[in-house]
Structure 1
Amino acid sequence: MDYSATPRAARADGLETLDAQRLADAPQKRLGHAKAIAAITLGNGLEFFDFTIYSFFATIIGKLFFPVEGQLVQLMLAVGTFGVGFIMRPFGGVVLGGYADRAGRKAAMSLTLWLMTLGSAIIAFAPTYAAIGVAAPILIILARLIQGFALGGEVGASTALLLEYGSDRTRGFYGSWQFVSQGMNTVVGSLLGVALASTLAPAALESWGWRVPFVIGMAMGPIGIYIRRHLDETLPGVEDGTAAGGEGAAKAASKPAEQPASLPVRDLFRDHARSITTGVVTTIGGTAANYIVLFYLSTYAIRILHLPMATALWAAWTGAVVTVICSPLAGTLSDRIGRKRVLWVSRVLLIFAIYPAFMTLNASPTVPVLLAVVAGLALLVTFTAVPNIVMLPELFPRAIRATGMSIVYCLGVSIFGGFAQFFATWLIEISGSNLAPAWYLIGCSVVSLLPLPFMRETAGRALD
């Protein structure tokens, strides 16, 4: 009897069984990752749902809550209030980002969703200026401040968690779903805005129709909180230690546990000041492009080009669809050839494309031209924004990653993104040129390229 054949055969049978088990587990693993991505990105997507609706109905909100002389001034106040929420983002980044690095990503993201829900409820049910006077705009500002504070921590915690679920070869793809969620919620928000503007009479839309999307946004918060309860924590030393749900988290589980930072904000500014500076400057170009192309162009088409509201709203829908389709492609490309290369090429192309795009739009202010311009610019914006947002959390170690990402992103977004619509409208007012928003975006993009040569490439390298 050949005894040597027995263990060899047993090993072969064991390997076949193991391979079969891996194949059987693969669909379940992919499904688990898909659920995790959906749960993680839900809060940030809710932000863009609210922002989309607010941008679409900025003219109505300005009329109802800021009854001053002149439609352009009303619009400036309305979009200025849109930007007020961004003032609170750095504070939210410090407080909630630090909380995410101490208590865990899940706890911080649940808190941010409750705060977002509160802000949506205030806007949905706020009485107008005609009913309660000056208290009306104060309520709108308060709601935007609460939401801005919440999102200051949401972006850092959720993006850090996304990257920690990925591996060294897939972090760009995982991080890209942050923008997929934004695009999908913008699609839903824009379709809802178009439906309301198309089906309701102007009096009904102005009376109660514009409030409907905010009620829907308010209802989404508790649903998101419930879904996020089933996520695995990726911050070592919190709850169940490290996560078991992602490729990157599985690697972390094999390493000694790293305790959460006791003072993440202090550690961040003491040891990573250079990363903060380069990250903030690089973010300026991506966020300005994102808010000008995907949000302001709808308001621009209605107010400056005098296109009908129901028709012009399709511009945001077009930009959002392009974002949804192209974001995973941009993330995967950045995994393969590097974040810096994708960001550099796309941002330079955007610099050369933005001014001719605005010239074309003003020379032929029609809906087909508007949609074509938005689609082309959105493509470039996606390929410049995705590697940008993935690079930011990669600059910091796990113990202070959520805080670092929150602060860097919020400082860059707060002024140059949140007030992009206000700056663009103001530049048109003082210059008398409808092309002024293009110069704003060109300036932001050029400045944002300056630190890129001094930043290290993060694609394909170990996250921790």
Structure 2
Amino acid sequence: MATAPTSSKLATVLRVTSGNFLEMFDFFLFGFYATHIAKAFFPAGDEFASLLLTFGTFGAGFLMRPLGAIFLGAYVDQVGRRKGLIVTLAIMALGTILIAFVPGYATIGLLAPVLVLIGRLLQGFSAGVELGGVSVYLSEMAPPNQKGFYVSWQSGSQQVAIIVAALIGYTLNKMLSPAEISDWGWRIPFFIGSLIVPFIFVIRRSLQETEAFLARKHHPTTAEIFHSIVENWQIVVAGMLMVVMTTVSFYLITVYTPTFGKSVLKLSEVDSLIVTFCVGISNLVWLPVMGALSDRIGRRPILLAFTVLTIVTAYPAMAWLTGAPSFQRMLLVELWLSFLYASYNGALVVALTEIVPASVRTVGFSLAYSLATALFGGFTPAVSTALIEMTGNKAAPALWMTFAAVCGLGATLIVYRRGEAGRVVTAAAE
């Protein structure tokens, strides 16, 4: 059956991004409650070591992403977008439920952190293709002149997850004491995530296959897909470097923000959650706006402009914040970094679906995204924590974001150099 008509495209977007929402919701919770998770599962001699172990476990999930991208991505390109997205949801749900119900270290000892790690690895394996599967589905069901706008809602669903997670966290802080949250209250959002799994599974099952996939006369075998990825390794590497900018920025301004505000700036947890909520709103506004703008003026101008802006302004903004920490300064700086991230990402995700050959679009996109997240973005909280500890400079995380922007700028110049322009358009049309 073909993709739903235009009148139901909004419903289709909501159905396809629902699983992406759940995946990101659980990822954010791990970052939001990192200090409590550290105490429950990774007790150590000092707060820094405990927190680093927690963020190391958080980052370990990202190491599974390339494997998920390769194996699940090949599966999606072979059997279809719809079936693949149902499989990723099932794997993701297993990881979520495991983390929600694992007893603490005090109860079952070393088995506790091991089970949490397994849950994170399952989530990472699923996430390896979730973003790619959703992005490719949206790009293939979108009208030709609105692909940037439609694909931006893949990232948009992540921002809704940030907003919901921050609202739940804020409510818990108002209803429970700090001791209750640290003891058991931090688990409540994870339970909520587990409870919505059946609902998302039902609505995702109603997805229809995309016309672009059904119209393809030849669906490559797994061996053919792997061969094509090897042949197109330069595209994958360039795409990975482009994604470094977006994934580092994303995890810096979302997952790391609550810990940064509380542990580094010594602001209240409520202040940090409010800032995170506002960042989610800001991202949700700018992503579709810039996605739509990229449909009008092209991807290249936006990608170049916002990597340069990030290189020039990220560190000065963070230095201004850490020079005299306050809620107001943190809000202003995080909203600026949000503008940089969302503007770049609004053009980046659709650009990535365009530069990867159509026959291996899901696995190629997912592999580029997963490698960037596994090697750079996923370890942003851990790298930020380590940079501050090693340098004594509270603004040091901005140096990591600046480095990511340099990667994005260089890759964009390579992909969109004059000789490549025609090939990029051709790849999009295949």
TM-score, with structure 2 as normaliser: 0.94
Amino acid at match of 1:399: S
Q: 2:31 maps to what in 1?
A: 55
Larger Rg: 1
Q: Is the 2:356–2:427 Cα contact (8 Å) retained in structure 1?
A: no
Q: 1:127 maps to what in 2?
A: 103
Amino acid at match of 2:429: L
Whole-Å separation in 2 of the counterparts to 1:460 and 1:403: 18
Three-state SS of the structure 1 residue aligned to 2:131 is helix
Q: 1:280-319 to 2 correspondence within 5 Å? A: 280-319=240-279
Q: What do the CA deviations read for 1:43-72 (whole angstroms, capped 9, x no partner)?
A: 222122112211111000001111101111
Q: What do the CA deviations read for 1:323-351 (whole angstroms, capped 9, x no partner)?
A: 11111101001111111111110111112
Amino acid at match of 2:148: G
Q: What do the CA deviations read for 1:255-314 (whole angstroms, capped 9, x no partner)?
A: 663334443542333321211111111111111111112221221111001111122111
C-alpha deviation, 1:397, in angstroms: 2.7
Q: 2:404 maps to what in 1?
A: 444
| 1:228 paired to 2:208 | no
* Unaligned ranges ≥5, structure 1: 1-27, 235-242, 244-248
Once structures 1 and 2 are overlaid, which stretch shifts more, 342-351 or 203-212? Answer: 203-212
Q: 2:330 maps to what in 1?
A: 370
Whole-Å separation in 1 of the counterparts to 2:342 and 2:216: 37
Whole-Å separation in 2 of the counterparts to 1:463 and 1:301: 45
* Number of equivalences: 421
Select the structure that is richer in helix.
Answer: 2
TM-score, with structure 1 as normaliser: 0.87
| 1:93 paired to 2:53 | no
Q: 2:80 maps to what in 1?
A: 104
| 1:399 paired to 2:359 | yes
* Unaligned ranges ≥5, structure 2: none
Q: Is the 2:244–2:372 Cα contact (8 Å) retained in structure 1?
A: yes
Q: What do the CA deviations read for 1:6-49 (whole angstroms, capped 9, x no partner)?
A: xxxxxxxxxxxxxxxxxxxxxx9444101111111112221221
Q: 2:165 maps to what in 1?
A: 189
Whole-Å separation in 2 of the counterparts to 1:383 and 1:358: 19
Note closer, same or farther for the CA distance 1:358–1:336 as it changes in structure 2 (3 Å cut): same
Which of 213, 219, 244 is equivalent to 2:195? 219
**Which 4+ runs in 1 deviate beyond 6 A?**
none
Which of 384, 389, 394 is equivalent to 1:429? 389
Amino acid at match of 2:87: L
Q: 2:290 maps to what in 1?
A: 330
Q: Is the 2:282–2:335 Cα contact (8 Å) retained in structure 1?
A: yes
Q: Is the 2:354–2:428 Cα contact (8 Å) retained in structure 1?
A: no
Q: 1:347-362 to 2 correspondence within 5 Å? A: 347-362=307-322
| 1:463 paired to 2:423 | no
Note closer, same or farther for the CA distance 1:298–1:264 as it changes in structure 2 (3 Å cut): farther
| 1:383 paired to 2:349 | no
Whole-Å separation in 2 of the counterparts to 1:42 and 1:266: 29
Amino acid at match of 1:214: F
CA RMSD, Structure 1 to Structure 2 (Å): 1.8
